[in-house]
Amino acid sequence: MNQGQAGHANFLLPLLRPGMRVLAVGCVLPGHRGDIGLTTSLSTATHPLHVVGLDTDVEGLRQARRASELAAVSTIDFAASDPTALAVRSESVDVVYAHGLLDRVREPRRVLAEFARVLRPGGLLALSTPDWSRTRVKPRTANVDAALRGWTMLRRREGGDPAAGKHVEDWVRFAGFRDIRSRARFHAGTDYRQLARTIESELAEALSDSGDYMDPQLASAARSAWMWVRGGQGEVSQCWVETVAVR
């Protein structure tokens, strides 16, 4: 649901130094296979810098690797790895960066504990985490509200938390990090009607997968999303919580 991904890493770029090894965990975002803009912005921030993009989406990683080859970016590698069990040695990296990951995983605290394991002492954690409860959608009609409520319920049933940004600072502190700095930033760029189409599609897919049972809440939300798609234009300003902490 996000456009202009590269700009989301801007808060981290001034903290990068030559020679650092950076992990970009969850580098393949849903709906953005082959888009390596965000990972490239890390790898080109300073020189030399080695960035490794990790994800569980093998096909997405293949497309990202091909895109980096076409762009002649030689400072990025990609590898398949689960965020709860990173295929990385303990205390071996300088920076762990994750954009739009903690809202999509079932066990964010376990993921953060794994980040702490692979970071060297004094290493940096940088997170960009959405908080959909604070996202601004205009106009916010009754159909928009109903569709967003249904989509949020669906995401939580699937094990994620669309409002993860609201809790991320507490999770990071629980994982043992220090010098935690966190702030909310609003990013424009998500298309109003495209957001509606994405929500409509995800709700419709969930209803289709449910077989004979038709969840009335999801069905009502899907109808509201259908109406939203066919409404007028609007604006979306998505809330992202940017967090930096020290291992």
Distance CA 76, CA 73 (A): 7
Q: How many domains does the chain have?
A: 1
Q: Where are the alpha helices (H) located in the chain, listed in sequence order?
A: 37-43, 58-70, 108-118, 142-157, 168-174, 192-209, 216-229
| Domain range for 192 | 5-246
Q: Which pLDDT tens digit goes with each residue over 105-149?
A: 999 999 999 999 999 999 999 999 999 999 999 999 999 999 999
Can you give the CATH number for the domain in which 183 is found? Answer: 3.40.50.150
AA letter at 135: T
Q: Which pLDDT tens digit goes with each residue over 174-233?
A: 999 999 999 999 988 678 999 999 999 999 999 988 776 778 999 999 999 999 999 889
Structure tokens given for 171: 């999770």
